[in-house]
Amino acid sequence: ASDETDSDKKASDETDSGGEQRVCFALKYMCLTLNRTLTSVSETVQHCKADHGVDIPDLVQKHRLDDYGYIKMINYIRTTKVSTESLLLTSNGPLPWDSDEYMKPALPDDPLLQIDVEELSEATAVTLSPAAGDQVSLLLQRARQAEDRAQRAEEALARAMDDLHKLKSCFFFFSKYKQISIIQLDKVRTESYRDFMYRNMEVFKGKVVLDVGCGTGILSMFAAKAGARKVIAVDQSEIIYQAMDIVRSNKLEDTITLIKGRIEEIDLPVEKVDIIISEWMGYFLLFESMLDSVLYARDRYLAEDGLVYPDRCSISLAAVGDTQKHSDRIAFWDDVYGFKMSCMKKAVIPEAVVEMLKPETVISEAAVVKTIDCGSVTVSELEFTVDFSLKITASTFCTVMFSTAPDCTKTHWKQAVFLLESPIPVKTGEELPGQITVHKNRKDPRALLITLDIAGRKQTYSLQ
């Protein structure tokens, strides 16, 4: 690298062979022509403006760049060696540095990337102030910059809110197709609702029915076919619009009224309903469930002698002896290709698993740990601590605890599985005592924290 400093050499290095001027920046405050040392970011900015006609703060303001946009622009200029003319003629449409590839620094420890947009403007304001004593001009300039920062912050907030809206839409999109897959794949659940309503038409005949979380409206249509005088179907997700089309296609629009929104935030077109139906159950019964919303609807809209269906639900526990599963999931970490990774158990064990278990691996009778009467239970009662005792039916090692019977027809609920760190030796006929505590995750009310205390071994699991 040459350290000549004459102006002819400088002009030659900063102009390409076609006579077009290129933008240079400082590398460790050294001009890219490698023949001029600059002492600071502000001097670099002045150099770009005076020698190249490029005002960096002005470009930031012109294109309303946030910190990310500024970083991309600097890296774009460094990477592409863009001409001054091209840079100044950049329109307010899609910017040439919008690609995320320009988030990668073109230079290591680039000083221009170690200052944010606000600091850049303030540093430049002090350096470019026309006179040290011109306080009024300086204050006005800073006020304008503060106003501009506030505007950019407001626009950034608007973009963030837009992103949040898209995220919610994505969640509702997922939720919608999750409900569709349930109808397609879970015949046990859907047919249970259908059979109950069709076999008990006298319960529904002439009644006003509320369907909380109606999804595609399948339960609402069952209720209408069972003789309900009026059905009000409520769902907050976008699937409500498909449900409207489905109801019209089946010529049930005179009976079924569909409303989009959270049951807690809307007003129904009636004061009271006779029956509330809902498919609110989740994994481990209570995970990601809508029971809280159903109870709100019950307390606000259900007539004094009204009914809630399902009316009773229960959670049961049983022990499993599956040494292969324990070896694959837990003991595996004791020797991973010759390396000890036992610490990984602490990360794996607390995560409850939802999957189908083999009925032959069950080694105890099931014990009911919670029964829920949907007509009277309160929200606070959905968090509980209960002692239980499992009667062992096979002499082996207990490796897993689970809920939901594996010997029934498969459903979308599957079983909630809680892996034990160390197998517990058990014998046929003996009782395995324990205690279970269930409460909501305060950080995510849809999720559950479940603590099992068995044979003096205590472990908290997260179902999320």
Contact 42, 124 (CB under 8 A): yes
* Catalytic residue flag (residue 119): no
Task: List residues bridging with 451 in a β-sheet.
Answer: 437, 460
- Sheet of 431-441, strands arranged across: 384-391, 431-441, 444-454, 457-463
Contact 401, 362 (CB under 8 A): no
Contact 156, 148 (CB under 8 A): no
In the block, tokens 């005792």 appear at: 389
The span from the CA of 8 to the CA of 5, in Å, is: 9
**Gap between the terminal Cα atoms of the chain:** 59
Contact 222, 194 (CB under 8 A): yes
Contact 392, 363 (CB under 8 A): yes
* Catalytic residue flag (residue 279): yes
Contact 388, 426 (CB under 8 A): no
The token pair at 424 is 């517990």
Q: Which of 279, 381, 430, 431 is catalytic?
A: 279
CB within 8 Å of 78: residues ≥ 6 apart:
25, 32, 106, 107, 110
Q: Which of 101, 155, 265, 288 is catalytic?
A: 288
Nearest to 355 by CA among 436, 193, 463: 463
The span from the CA of 176 to the CA of 166, in Å, is: 15
Just list the catalytic residues. 279, 288
